[in-house]
Structure formats: structure tokens, C-alpha cells
Amino acid sequence: MKTSLASLELHYLVKEFQFLIGGRIDNIYNPKKEEFILQFFVSGKGKHIVRMISGKLIYLASAKSPAEAPSGFCMFLRKHLGNSRLRSVKQLESERIVEFVFEKEGRKKLIVELFGKGNVLLCDENDVILSALVYHKWKDREIRAKGKYFYPKRKYNIFELELSELKKLFQESDKELVKCLASELGLGGPYSEEACLLSDVDKGISPSSLDDKEINKLFKSIKKLVDNKIKPLTVYLKEEVKDIVPFELKVYGDLEKKSFKAYNEAFDNYFLEDVKEEKPKTKQEKEIDKLNRRMEQQKQTIKELGDKEIKERGKADLVYKNYELVNEIIAELRKATKKYDWKEIKKKLEGHKVVKSVNSKDKTVEIEI
């Protein structure tokens, strides 16, 4: 299941968000704690839904999930963003962060972080945090109310990359080439392998050993990936979705593929057709589940009580059938307690045919009938 986006993939998804600019926020939902739905009305284009899952995904969806009662944070977003107009939407540099700028009696920024555990934040036009889904403090930054919002920045921005910067990165890196491109440059796994294939450069080579010709080829390949024409595909391996890519990749060779008109459409189809997400249960369904569990517990209790009753009846029947014998043993024990203590009684009854054990501490006997 695809549960995260590469920076390059987010770049192409956000390109397709641009028609939403000028649209009005109709409503905001959060079907799950970390999932939010922005419902837009765009003049001449009707309603459109942006689905975002903090730390994982953001895309244009054709339908929204059933929503429960909104959380406090969701209500805060409704209060501040309801009926506001979208003025811009962009990816922040080459980070996995999307910034929506809304206007209604001033401007506010909705920030969606799609890295790590993720976050959703509402800031004012000066980047002061008004509220956030998660508050947290790290060594180099902090998310707190009324604090300034800063995001962690990579040293290199793949969308504005200069040849000199790529050379510097390769000189300083101690990783193999493909890992250097994936993590240090932030290109992502498949796209790093693709850049190596397009450049005909060994992906396992040390970046510091590359000559100028190879670096130039890699630079051109990266630029091609960044500025490519969108031709979205879902890639399948043994009938399972392997990836959702914005254009054909050599790295996926002859694997089965399905094409789409828009990159967002490929993601929407993935969640509608290729994977069946567990939908949140309604209040009624939860109440029914609760009653069913209670019924099962009651059934189990009734069964246990029934079994206990049968067992106790069996004991009572045995006592009744052997009443005279039991009564005689009790009478003899009463007489014995007048002459002996229980330790002596225990000793005298060792090897008795009916009395199997004596507990001198509790002053009880166990008989077999």
C-alpha cells in the first residue's frame, strides 16, 4: 500500500491543484484523527475534495469518507477557514510540505507536513502558529501556539538545483550514488535509480569518483525528472500496486501499467479500486458493536452459570444418595474432636477408605463417594 510521497511526486500533485485557486472552502471534515478533507467550491467547476493524511498523502479525491463528530482542531479550522477563498497553493521548496493560503478578513496559511509523523497547522500571514494538530519540540525547532513556524530545510532544493551544487554534494558525500541522490538530495528511491539509468552511471559508485562528464549527465537527468511532462501511471507487480508515478520510469521496465489523465486521478483510483480502506464506523454501527459485545458476554456468563449449576447438582445428588454414610462420618468426627485435636484425627484417619484427606488447619475433611 502506498502510504508516502516523494518530494518529486508531491511537486506534480500540487501542479494539478492550481485550478482550485479562487475557490471557496465549503466545509472541512476529519474522518480520522490524522485525516482531513477540504471541500472546495470552484466557480464553473463545482465541488472538489482535497484529502490529506498527515505525514503520508495529499491528493484530489472524488468522494469523501464518512465523517464523525468533528474534533476540536477541525472545528477551529472551520471557524477560521470556512467560506474563505484560496489565494495560493504551493510546495515549500523541495520539502514534503504543502502551504495553502486562504483569505477572509485577512490571510491565513494552512500547512500540511508530509514527512515523519506529519502535522497540520494553521498560521497567520506572518507564520505565527494559531493552532496545530500536534505540538512538539525538537532539538532545532518547536511547534507551539503563538510560536513562529519554521520548517526543516534541506541543503539543496532539487527544483532550483545548480550544477555547482550537485558537484559540491558529490564531493562531500560518503554514500553510494543512489543513496546520496535519494536521501541527501531528497530525490527519493525510484527517481534516484531512474536518474542513474538515464545517465548510464553505476548507481553503486562513490559520488566523489564521478568525472565532470558523468556529473553533467546526472544533472541533466535530474532536470528532466523535475520538468517532465505528466503522464501518470499505476505500476503493478503480480497484480499488486507497486507504485504510482507521474510519468514512465525505465526502472519499472516491462511491469504492467495503467495510465491516467491526471496524477491525482491515479491516487484516487488507487484508494477506490486497488485498496479497500477500512472505513470509519458510524455512531450507530459502534453502538450496535457495543450491544453485540455485551450480548456475547451475557451469553458466556449464562453458559458458565449453567455449567456450574449442573456440577453443583451432581454433587448434591451424590450427597443425597450417600446421606447415611456422610451423616455417619460427620457424627464420628464430632465425637473424635471431643477427645483428640485435628492433628491426631488426621493421623488416625490415614488410609481410611472414604476419608481421603484431612486439613487440620481448616478443620475440614475430603471424602470420596
**CB proximity list for 228: less than 8 A, separation 6 or greater:** 246, 247
Of the three residues 153, 185, 208, the one that is the final residue of a domain is 153
Q: Are 28 and 39 in contact (CB under 8 A)?
A: yes
Judgement on whether residues 133 and 243 belong to the same structural domain of the protein:
no
Task: Let me know if residue 299 belongs to a domain.
Answer: no
Task: Let me know if residue 225 belongs to a domain.
Answer: yes
**Stretch 301-324: mean pLDDT:** 75
Nearest alpha-carbon partner for 73 in 91, 54, 89: 54
Task: Let me know if residue 83 belongs to a domain.
Answer: yes
Domain that holds residue 186: 163-260
Judgement on whether residues 50 and 122 belong to the same structural domain of the protein:
yes
Of the three residues 225, 260, 295, the one that is the final residue of a domain is 260
Name which of 50-59, 123-132, 290-299 the model is least confident about.
290-299
Q: How many domains does the chain have?
A: 3
Burial class (CB in 10 A: 0-12, 13-18, 19+), 306: exposed
pLDDT confidence tier of residue 93, bands split at 50, 70 and 90: very high
pLDDT tens for residues 78-91? 999 999 999 999 99
The domain that holds 237 is classified in CATH as 1.10.8.50
Name which of 50-54, 201-205, 252-256, 347-351 the model is least confident about.
347-351
pLDDT over 60 at 277, yes or no: no
Judgement on whether residues 177 and 241 belong to the same structural domain of the protein:
yes
pLDDT tens for residues 104-153? 989 999 999 999 999 999 999 999 999 999 999 988 899 999 999 999 99
User: DSSP for 19-76?
Assistant: GGTT-EEEEEEEEETTEEEEEEEETTTEEEEEEEETTTEEEEESS-----SPPHHHHH
pLDDT confidence tier of residue 69, bands split at 50, 70 and 90: confident
Measure the CA–CA gap between 347 and 349, rounded to whole angstroms: 6
147 versus 348: the higher-pLDDT residue is: 147
pLDDT tens for residues 156-203? 999 999 999 999 999 999 999 999 999 999 999 999 999 999 999 999
pLDDT over 80 at 326, yes or no: no
Judgement on whether residues 167 and 62 belong to the same structural domain of the protein:
no
Judgement on whether residues 250 and 210 belong to the same structural domain of the protein:
yes
Task: Let me know if residue 306 belongs to a domain.
Answer: no
Q: Determine the pLDDT at residue 223.
A: 97
Judgement on whether residues 194 and 251 belong to the same structural domain of the protein:
yes
Q: Are 67 and 51 in contact (CB under 8 A)?
A: no
Judgement on whether residues 39 and 74 belong to the same structural domain of the protein:
yes
Judgement on whether residues 146 and 197 belong to the same structural domain of the protein:
no
* First-to-last C-alpha distance (Å) of the chain: 65
pLDDT over 80 at 292, yes or no: no
Judgement on whether residues 212 and 252 belong to the same structural domain of the protein:
yes
pLDDT tens for residues 212-270? 999 999 999 999 999 999 999 999 999 899 999 999 999 999 999 999 999 999 999 99
The domain that holds 105 is classified in CATH as 2.30.310.10
* Global pTM value: 0.74
pLDDT over 90 at 325, yes or no: no
pLDDT over 90 at 295, yes or no: no
Mean pLDDT taken over the chain: 90
